Amino acid sequence: MTDESTSTYIVAQPILVAVDNVIFGFDTEEEKLKVLLFKRKIEPFAGQWSLVGSFIQPNESAVIAASRILTDFTGLKSVYLEQLHTYTAIDRDPEDRVISIAYYSLIQLQKYRKDLVATHDAGWFEVNDIPDVVVDHHQIISDALVKLQDNARRKPVGFNLLPSKFTLPQLFKLYQEIYQKEIDDRNFRKKILATGLLEKLDTKDKTASKKGAFHYQFNKTKYQELETEGYDILFH
């Protein structure tokens, strides 16, 4: 028989579950890795910068919700999307108990719908110049960049950020932006060409010089092979 005087009663508190998307894009003109943020329209934190996110609907899984948000804000489907981490700190939201399942995406900036970004009052920010963001979103962005750096070392995920044809200088700059540090150009070219991922084209990009730089594209067969099997390349 239970002694009611010593029993512990737990008052149920609603727990909300959301998804937050860290959407990375590489600006080939500015040669900068950027993150998509938007200004919140509702309280709390109305008018402040935030990751793109939403509560998960009753008929959605987390990944379906993340895909929906990605399409709503960029107009893109079937792009790189990977679960990052689940954030469960009790005090991460000042009003409700909210658990966030974070994802990160890699998109080609030249393909996204700019009108959708404008509609949502969103903007692209360089990864090393993120403004003040709500709750723990700065930590989520930082964690996503570390994850991207680790993945870029082990498989060709960074290529999801480039157009179908690109130059070696563009690829080199992308990797410097991912790792946020200087990389030896000669060592990079040697290692990346040794993977067999790249096919040299006959055309050149002459926007930077009269001599120009040859365009490259990905060897799709090798890309799929290495995406599955992986590799381990350290760029110094």
189 and 124 together in one domain: no
Is 236 domain-assigned? no
% of residues, the chain, pLDDT over 70: 94
Q: Is residue 3 included in any domain, yes or no? A: no
Residue 6 lies in a domain: no
The answer to whether residue 138 sits within a structural domain is yes
- CATH of residue 191's domain is 1.10.10.10
Structure confidence by residue, pLDDT tens digits, 47-61? 999 999 999 999 999
In this structure, are 53 and 120 located in the same domain? yes
The pTM of the full predicted model, rounded to 2 decimals, is 0.90
175 occurs within a structural domain: yes
Q: Are residues 202 and 139 in the same domain?
A: no
User: Does 109 lie in the same domain as 149?
Assistant: yes
Last residue of a domain, one of 123, 153, 183: 153
Question: Is the same domain home to 74 and 189?
Answer: no
Name the E strands within the chain: 15-27, 32-39, 49-55, 80-87, 97-107, 122-126, 166-167, 198-205, 213-218
- Its domain, for residue 212, covers 157-229
Contacts of 196 (CB under 8 A, 6+ apart): 219, 222
Phi then psi for 57, rounded to 5 degrees? -80, 155
- 138 and 195 both lie in a single domain: no
What pLDDT is recorded for position 95?
84
Mean pLDDT of 79-106: 94
| 176 and 209 together in one domain | yes
Q: Which of 208, 214, 227, 209 is nearest to 29 (CA)?
A: 208
182 and 132 housed in the same domain: no
Q: What is the pLDDT of residues 124-158, one digit of tens each?
A: 999 999 999 999 999 999 999 999 999 999 888 88
Q: Which of 153, 172, 191 is the last residue of a domain?
A: 153
Instruction: For residue range 179-218, list pLDDT tens digits in order.
Output: 999 999 999 999 999 999 999 999 998 887 778 899 999 9
Residue ending a domain, among 153, 173, 204, is 153
Residue partners of 216: CB distance under 8 A and separation at least 6 = 165, 166, 167, 168, 171, 198, 199, 200, 201
Q: Are residues 49 and 126 in the same domain?
A: yes
Buried b (16+ CB within 10 A) or exposed e, 79-91: bbbbebeebeeee
73, 28: one domain:
yes
Q: Confirm if 133 and 50 have CB atoms less than 8 A apart.
A: yes
Same domain, 98 and 132: yes
What is the structure's pLDDT at 210?
75
Residue 3's pLDDT is what? Answer: 52
- Split into its structural domains, the chain has a count of 2
